[in-house]
Amino acid sequence: MRTRPLLLAVFLAAPVLVTSQARAQRKGTSLHVTVADATSQAFLPDAEVTLEPLGLHRLTDFFGDARFPPLPGGVYTVAAHRIGYEPLSTLARFSGRDSLELVLLMKPASRELPDVTIEESATSPFLREFEERRRQGTGYYITDSTLRAAHGRQFEDVIVFSIPGIRYGGPVGKKILYSTRGSNSIHSTACPVMIYLNGIRVGSDPYIVPLDFIGGVEYYPAGRIPVQYQELGNDCGVMLLWPRP
């Protein structure tokens, strides 16, 4: 059974010289290098051990060992490289008449994680259209922040307060939004505002969706209505409701 040298101490900052055996050699110093993990002390196979300036290199075996033939006396750089670990090197002086055993304890390479950007939840395509039209400024707009601040209030109160010329009324059970500035209002007739929810016409009652679920409101009086919402005979205006994502 193969026996291994016992590692009594671990120094993370530098390799450790374990023994310099006194077995005399007639010609050169025999080098035995063992490469291990500095944290767990597990032996590391497939680590490349190089010896400079001679340019010699060996790969460690299953037991983390790499052996070099007898070398002439002098000072050499012994280095170890392995994927996932920080490179390690040390100077070693060879007498040219003995055997030298080195244990190189390699530290796992630290990986810097890439920056993570946290973005807000994606805006719905409908609200993106809302923002594009709001930048053009051709109508009246109630944003999500304003609607959230109005939590607990009646929907018609928010609309009437925010949009000039709009009222809410009519018979019990049939109240609608109407404009006081449409052509029908000249003849003292209610001028109903046509309401669209997510681009679909739903009538003139804003309570089709609770206020807490609305993320944007647009209103366009006659003459400013976007092309896709223009209808023949609609002289009272259009209101667009966009639910939150």
Mean pLDDT of the chain: 80
Per-residue pLDDT band at 110 (split at 50, 70, 90): confident
Given a contact cutoff of 8 angstroms between Cβ atoms, the answer to whether 208 and 197 are in contact is yes
How far apart (Å, rounded) are the C-alpha atoms in residues 67 and 48?
12
pLDDT tens string 188-221: 567 889 999 888 888 887 777 778 888 899 999 9
Residues contacting residue 42 through CB under 8 Å, at least 6 positions apart: 36
Residue 6's CB: how many other CB atoms inside 10 A? 6
- 22-56 as b/e, with b when 16 or more CB fall inside 10 Å? eeeeeebbbbbbbbbbbeeeebbeebbbbbeeeee
Question: What pLDDT does residue 181 have?
Answer: 75
pLDDT at residue 58 above 80? Answer: yes
Portion of the chain with pLDDT greater than 70, in percent? 79
What structural domains does the chain harbor? 16-106 (2.60.40.1120), 125-243 (2.170.130.10)
What pairs with residue 102 in β-bridges?
A: 17, 33
How far apart (Å, rounded) are the C-alpha atoms in residues 189 and 210?
28
pLDDT at residue 147 above 70? Answer: yes
Per-residue pLDDT band at 116 (split at 50, 70, 90): low
Q: Using the Cα atoms of residue 140, residue 145, residue 146 and residue 147 in order, give the sign of their dihedral.
A: positive
User: What is the reported pTM?
Assistant: 0.48
pLDDT tens string 75-99: 999 999 999 999 999 998 888 888 8
User: What is the residue whose two structure tokens read 């055996």?
Assistant: 21
Per-residue pLDDT band at 44 (split at 50, 70, 90): very high
Per-residue pLDDT band at 19 (split at 50, 70, 90): very low
How far apart (Å, rounded) are the C-alpha atoms in residues 140 and 163?
6
Highest averaged pLDDT of the listed ranges 37-51, 150-164, 168-182: 37-51
Residues contacting residue 221 through CB under 8 Å, at least 6 positions apart: 139, 165, 179, 181, 182, 237
Mean pLDDT along residues 43-70: 92
